[in-house]
């Protein structure tokens, strides 16, 4: 039983892993991630890659919405910018994927800064509508700027490549997506140990107080938008290499809502929440299908009546979380940790 | 309590009988030939569910029927599907799951987006032939999509058939004018450029083209545009119902005698059911006979009999059902030709078998023998709504594009 950690320096207080148990668990988690692709079939590998992309994008949105308090409904648009940047660069220049991914992130960040400009004047729902408008505008550009984006037909691209290796299969893509997801989440965790991250949190908690403390609101809000969009751009770039086709319809408004829901269900302002939320939103609809599979031997027509039911159950699960666990899955995880930490005493 | 125990006992006995039956049946089944698997990403929920449930019914009924006929060259057919909610990522997940566990020879894709997204995987796997709900022109590019085909004319070819019909209506060198109204989607924009080019070749003037949101209802501004140019024909594309109904009602209220036409997914009986008498005169291009048409043929009769058997209370089967049945028919023909040639069921061999289809009699599903061109069946007929009888009736012969 461990009942507390004595922290005797600022460094110890700000450390990502405060105990050796945490380090052990994280090491074990990395080992599982490493072994997973060698054990999983193509279906599980595909879902693993999908979760990896969702984790990157959700972490980006969490930086903006969860940590800075700026609601955005433009995440799909920023992902689209990243995806089209990668697709265009891949088709027209043949650059290797590390460069195209960084450029995708930077391009999305630049667009994010532009979209973030109104954030000094408008907040809450107003900002949500402003970012929604940006998403619609970006969709219009994807559809109409035919010479660059291929119009409604979109762009097809070659597999990601590096040093003569072609990352064509899900197995190979896993080794791009998942390490990048781990690195980007760790990078985000580090951001919140710096002045910049603390400024984001200060703005979220009370922007007027933050300004009085000397935080340049516009600068830090735009920085948050840039960082969040960078993550979305990289996620979009990975999306492009993963599916190898990008069309305007790949990035609908519902995708932005999906990521916002992932942040809320996971736990706003909590990086672990972003990871859990992304996994939940991606995997639960698939897991629910097991119900149908279990019923099909007894009722051959089960898919027909169960499929709409599953959509309802999934919606109800999300609503249930908002009502009964407003701090999201991360809070559930923390409660479980507290239980084991204090066991056998009452939590 | 006693009743409880008795009930549990009955359930256990039932379960025991099932296990016993399966145990007895297993050796017999093992002697059979390997089943051939039809896979499917089917949208049973989501925005395309209205068609998805009928597509599922069509594939299920065809599978039951072909098995009752002895399967394909003695191989039983197994249909394995997953719901996709018409979302590309879930559709791809379904494909991975099914192809990982069942090795489907053929597969039904629920959207153009999915079929494009899965193309690289399909090409690298090389053991599945795919078709589905999409009639996208892009999918007939054999270089990029060598293992995918269109179970009918692609959208550009549908426009070609419509425009040939319109050209035939011209009298004394006075060619009718046409306007295109389409949705702001990949689906909607697909045939427009090719349609304009074909219209120019036939000497038909495209006097207006209008893009709307799919499902939009307020189209008064667009109707005013059409009123100014007074087209003889308006061709809708990229919609299921709205705003076709709005355009028709408003233009007729303005006294225009324009005739209205639509492509495959805009030519379902749904339009008659929703619009009633207002649907009268609406025309659609359809590659298959309607379920309630007066046409007949051995396969069309078998389809009707199987549909009646599987759901006696349903007196009509929509176009999604007919399309799914035809898909499965083509798969069967392709597999049969491949097996008859003593070849493996690979994507390449099945694509070659598909390309070899020439003057194929579909037993009344399509009214004339059909020939595959560029992985599609460029054939169709113009049908017109008879609102009083509540059905579509043919107004043209079958048109086969060369």
pLDDT in tens, A292-331: 888 888 888 888 888 888 889 999 998 998 899 889 999 9
Chain-chain contact of B88 with A46 (C-beta, under 8 angstroms): no
User: What's the pLDDT score for residue A191?
Assistant: 94
In a domain? residue A16 = no
In a domain? residue B12 = no
SS3 A101: helix
pLDDT in tens, B148-186: 999 999 999 999 999 999 999 987 678 999 999 999 888
SS3 A123: coil
User: What's the pLDDT score for residue B234?
Assistant: 97
Nearest to A152 among B45, B117, B186 (CB): B186
Peptide bond preceding A344: is omega within 30 degrees of 0, i.e. cis? yes
CATH of the domain at B47: 3.40.50.2300
CATH of the domain at A288: 1.10.3470
User: What's the pLDDT score for residue A346?
Assistant: 66
> Out of A26-30, A302-306, B16-20, B40-44, which region has the weakest mean confidence (pLDDT)?
B16-20
Residue whose pair of structure tokens reads 């493996």 in the numeric block:
B344
CB A281 within 8 Å of CB A195: no
> How many other CB atoms are found less than 10 A from the CB of residue A215?
18
What residues of A are in contact with residue B81 (Cβ under 8 Å)?
303
Q: Does A249 touch chain B (CB under 8 A)?
A: yes
Whether B241 and B389 map to the same domain: the answer is yes
Q: Does A179 touch chain B (CB under 8 A)?
A: no
Give the domain extent around B48: 36-153+296-371
Nearest to B90 among A41, A156, A285 (CB): A285
User: What's the pLDDT score for residue A3?
Assistant: 62
Chain-chain contact of B100 with A303 (C-beta, under 8 angstroms): no
Whether B80 and B204 map to the same domain: the answer is no
**Does the structure show a pLDDT above 80 at B19?**
no
The domain tally of chain A equals 1
Which is nearest to A17 in space by CA: A4, A28, A26?
Answer: A26
Give the domain extent around A109: 43-342
User: What's the pLDDT score for residue A82?
Assistant: 97
What residues of A are in contact with residue B93 (Cβ under 8 Å)?
43, 46-47, 50, 286
Whether B191 and B124 map to the same domain: the answer is no
Whether B275 and B325 map to the same domain: the answer is no
pLDDT tier for residue B263 given thresholds of 50, 70 and 90: very high
In a domain? residue B246 = yes
Nearest chain B residue to A244, by CA: B117
Whether B138 and B238 map to the same domain: the answer is no
Measure the CA–CA gap between B252 and B265, rounded to whole angstroms: 23
Nearest to B92 among A46, A159, A303 (CB): A46
**Does the structure show a pLDDT above 70 at B27?**
no
User: What's the pLDDT score for residue B1?
Assistant: 41
User: What's the pLDDT score for residue A301?
Assistant: 82
In a domain? residue B15 = no
Q: Does B44 touch chain A (CB under 8 A)?
A: yes
Whether B83 and B137 map to the same domain: the answer is yes
What residues of A are in contact with residue B186 (Cβ under 8 Å)?
152-154, 247-249
**Distance from B96 to chain A by nearest Cα, in Å?**
5
pLDDT tier for residue B30 given thresholds of 50, 70 and 90: very low
Whether B41 and B73 map to the same domain: the answer is yes
Whether B250 and B133 map to the same domain: the answer is no
β-pair partners for B87 = none
In a domain? residue A23 = no
Chain-chain contact of B96 with A46 (C-beta, under 8 angstroms): yes
Whether B92 and B119 map to the same domain: the answer is yes
Round the average pLDDT of chain B to a whole number and report it.
Answer: 90
**Distance from B170 to chain A by nearest Cα, in Å?**
33
Whether B177 and B135 map to the same domain: the answer is no
Contacts across the A-B interface (CB distance below 8 Å): 80
ipTM (interface pTM):
0.87
A-contacting residues in B 204-223 (Cβ below 8 Å): none
Residue B359, CA atoms < 13 Å, CB-side half-sphere? 0
In a domain? residue B4 = no
Q: Does B189 touch chain A (CB under 8 A)?
A: yes
β-pair partners for B237 = B182
The mean pLDDT value for B253-266 works out to 94
CB B124 within 8 Å of CB B348: no
Nearest to A303 among B44, B93, B119 (CB): B44
Measure the CA–CA gap between B304 and B316, rounded to whole angstroms: 9
> Which alpha helices (H) appear in B32-185, and where do they start and end?
49-68, 88-102, 112-117, 119-125, 155-169
Q: Does A252 touch chain B (CB under 8 A)?
A: no
Chain-chain contact of B144 with A156 (C-beta, under 8 angstroms): yes
Nearest to A304 among B46, B53, B119 (CB): B53
Its pTM stands at 0.88
CB A307 within 8 Å of CB A292: yes
Nearest chain A residue to B94, by CA: A43
Which is nearest to B119 in space by CA: B84, B153, B147?
Answer: B147
The domain tally of chain B equals 2
Q: Does B352 touch chain A (CB under 8 A)?
A: no
Chain-chain contact of A307 with B186 (C-beta, under 8 angstroms): no
What residues of B are in contact with residue A42 (Cβ under 8 Å)?
96, 99-100
User: What's the pLDDT score for residue B5?
Assistant: 43
Chain-chain contact of B89 with A248 (C-beta, under 8 angstroms): no
CA B109 to chain centre: 11
User: What's the pLDDT score for residue A2?
Assistant: 61
In a domain? residue A217 = yes
Distances (CA, A) of B313 to A56, A132, A305, B184, B296: 50, 46, 17, 38, 21
Q: Does A52 touch chain B (CB under 8 A)?
A: no
In a domain? residue B266 = yes
Whether B346 and B210 map to the same domain: the answer is no
Peptide bond preceding A244: is omega within 30 degrees of 0, i.e. cis? no
In a domain? residue B21 = no
Nearest chain B residue to A41, by CA: B100
Chain-chain contact of B49 with A285 (C-beta, under 8 angstroms): no
In a domain? residue A236 = yes
Phi-psi region of B161 (alpha: psi -120 to 50; beta: other; left: phi over 0): alpha
Mind listing the pLDDT tens digit of every residue in chain A (347 residues)?
566 677 788 878 778 777 888 889 899 999 999 999 999 999 999 999 999 999 999 999 999 999 999 999 999 999 999 999 999 999 999 899 999 999 999 999 999 999 999 887 888 889 999 999 999 999 999 999 999 999 988 999 999 988 888 898 999 999 999 999 999 999 999 999 999 999 999 999 998 999 999 999 999 999 999 999 999 999 999 999 999 999 998 999 999 999 999 999 999 999 999 999 999 999 999 999 888 888 888 888 888 888 888 889 999 998 998 899 889 999 999 898 888 878 777 65
CB B367 within 8 Å of CB B398: yes
Whether B143 and B273 map to the same domain: the answer is no
In a domain? residue B214 = yes
In a domain? residue A3 = no
Nearest to B113 among A41, A45, A247 (CB): A247
In a domain? residue B7 = no
């Amino acid at each position: 039983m461990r009942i507390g950690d004595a922290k005797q320096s600022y460094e110890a207080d700000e450390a990502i892993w405060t105990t050796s148990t945490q380090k052990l668990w994280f090491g074990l988690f990395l080992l599982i991630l490493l072994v997973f692709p060698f054990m999983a079939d193509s279906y599980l590998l595909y879902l693993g890659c999908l979760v990896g992309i969702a984790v990157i994008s959700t972490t980006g949105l969490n930086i903006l919405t969860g940590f800075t308090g700026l609601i955005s409904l433009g995440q799909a648009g920023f992902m689209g910018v990243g995806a089209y940047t990668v697709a265009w660069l891949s088709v027209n220049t043949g650059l290797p994927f590390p460069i195209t991914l960084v450029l995708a992130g930077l391009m999305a960040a630049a667009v994010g800064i532009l979209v973030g400009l109104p954030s000094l004047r408008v907040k809450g729902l107003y900002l949500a509508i402003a970012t929604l408008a940006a998403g619609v505008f970006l969709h219009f550009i994807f559809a109409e700027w035919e010479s660059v984006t291929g119009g409604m037909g979109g762009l097809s691209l070659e597999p990601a490549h590096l040093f003569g290796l072609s990352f064509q299969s899900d197995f190979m893509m896993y080794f791009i997506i998942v390490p990048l997801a781990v690195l980007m989440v760790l990078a985000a965790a580090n951001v919140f140990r710096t002045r910049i991250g603390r400024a984001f949190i200060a703005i979220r908690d009370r922007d007027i107080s933050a300004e009085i403390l000397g935080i340049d609101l516009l600068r830090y809000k735009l920085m948050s938008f840039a960082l969040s969009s960078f993550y979305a751009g990289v996620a979009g770039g990975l999306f492009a290499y993963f599916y190898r086709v990008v069309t305007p319809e790949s990035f609908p408004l519902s995708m932005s809502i999906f990521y916002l829901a992932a942040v809320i269900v996971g736990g706003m302002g909590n990086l672990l929440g972003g990871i859990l939320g992304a996994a939940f939103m991606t995997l639960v609809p698939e897991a629910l299908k097991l119900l149908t599979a279990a019923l099909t031997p007894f009722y051959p027509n089960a898919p027909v009546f169960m499929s709409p039911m599953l959509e309802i159950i999934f919606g109800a699960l999300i609503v249930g979380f908002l009502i009964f666990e407003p701090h999201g899955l991360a809070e559930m995880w923390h409660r479980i940790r507290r239980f084991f930490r204090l066991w056998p005493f009452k939590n | 309590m006693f009743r409880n125990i008795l009930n549990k006992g009955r359930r256990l006995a039932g379960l025991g009988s099932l296990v016993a039956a399966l145990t007895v049946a297993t050796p017999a089944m093992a002697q059979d030939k390997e089943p051939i698997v039809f896979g499917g990403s089917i949208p049973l929920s989501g925005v395309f569910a209205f068609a998805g449930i009928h597509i599922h019914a069509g594939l299920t009924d065809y599978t039951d029927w072909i098995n009752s006929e002895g399967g394909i060259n003695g191989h039983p057919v197994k249909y394995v599907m997953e719901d996709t909610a018409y979302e590309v990522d879930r559709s791809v997940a379904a494909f991975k799951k099914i192809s990982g566990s069942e090795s489907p020879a053929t597969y039904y894709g629920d959207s153009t987006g999915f079929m494009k997204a899965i193309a690289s995987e399909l090409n690298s796997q090389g053991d599945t032939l795919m078709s589905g709900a999409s009639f996208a022109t892009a999918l007939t590019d054999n270089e990029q999509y060598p293992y995918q085909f269109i179970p009918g004319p692609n959208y550009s070819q549908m426009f070609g058939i419509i425009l040939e019909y319109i050209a035939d209506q011209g009298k004394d060198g006075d060619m009718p004018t046409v306007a295109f109204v389409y949705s702001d989607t990949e689906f909607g924009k697909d045939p427009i450029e090719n349609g304009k080019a074909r219209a120019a070749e036939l000497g038909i003037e495209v006097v207006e083209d209008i893009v709307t949101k799919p499902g939009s209802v307020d189209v008064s501004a667009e109707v005013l545009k059409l009123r100014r140019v007074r087209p003889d024909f308006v061709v809708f594309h990229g919609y299921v119902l709205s705003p076709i109904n709005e355009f028709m009602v408003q233009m007729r209220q303005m006294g225009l005698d324009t005739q209205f036409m639509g492509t495959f997914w805009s030519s379902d009986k749904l339009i008659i059911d929703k619009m009633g008498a207002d649907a009268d005169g609406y025309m659609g291009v359809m590659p298959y006979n309607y379920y309630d048409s007066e046409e007949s043929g051995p396969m069309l009769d078998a389809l009707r009999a199987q549909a009646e058997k599987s759901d006696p209370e349903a007196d009509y089967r929509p176009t999604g059902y007919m399309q799914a049945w035809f898909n499965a028919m083509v798969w069967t023909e392709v597999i049969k030709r491949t097996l008859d040639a003593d070849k493996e069921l690979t994507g390449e061999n099945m694509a070659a078998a598909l390309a070899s289809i020439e003057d194929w009699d579909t037993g009344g599903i399509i009214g004339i023998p059909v020939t595959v061109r560029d992985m599609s069946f460029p054939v169709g007929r113009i049908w017109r709504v008879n609102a009083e009888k509540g059905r579509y009736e043919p107004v043209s012969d079958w048109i086969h594009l060369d």
